[in-house]
C-alpha cells in the first residue's frame, strides 16, 4: 500500500481527473471512479470522464440527504439506523 507503485497509482487517479470531475459536487465521494472506465469526454471536451458518470452522479445526489442525516446521528452519538424512522416521517422533504 505504501509502495512507490501504489503511491503513483493513487496520485495518477487524482491527477488525471477531467475538469468536470474537479468541479463536481460529489467528487469527495466518487473521485471519478475506476480509471479503467474513464474513456468519455467531459462537458469541456477533455478526455477521462467516467463512462458511469451519469449514474454515479444521480446515485450520490440521491443518497446525500440520507447520508447527511446518518452523519448527524453519529455525531450526536445516536444510531444512524434512526434514518428509517426519519424516512417514515416523510423526510427528506
Q: Applying CB under 6 A, which residues contact ligand SF4?
A: 20-21, 24, 26-27, 30, 32-33, 50, 53, 56-57
Beta bridge partners of 64: none
Nearest-approach distance from CB 10 to ligand SF4, in angstroms: 16
Q: What's the rounded Cα separation, in Å, for the pair 31 and 10?
A: 11
Closest CB to ligand SF4 among 22 and 78? 22
Nearest-approach distance from CB 33 to ligand SF4, in angstroms: 6
Q: What's the rounded Cα separation, in Å, for the pair 73 and 69?
A: 6
Amino acid at each position: 500500500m505504501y509502495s512507490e507503485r501504489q503511491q503513483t497509482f493513487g496520485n495518477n487517479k487524482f491527477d488525471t481527473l477531467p475538469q468536470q470531475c474537479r468541479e463536481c459536487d460529489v467528487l469527495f465521494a466518487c473521485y471519478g471512479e475506476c480509471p479503467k472506465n474513464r474513456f468519455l469526454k467531459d462537458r469541456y471536451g477533455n478526455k477521462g470522464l467516467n463512462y458511469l458518470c451519469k449514474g454515479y452522479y444521480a446515485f450520490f445526489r440521491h443518497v446525500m440527504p440520507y447520508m447527511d442525516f446518518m452523519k448527524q446521528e453519529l455525531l450526536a452519538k445516536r444510531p444512524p439506523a434512526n434514518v428509517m424512522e426519519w424516512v417514515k416521517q416523510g423526510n427528506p422533504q
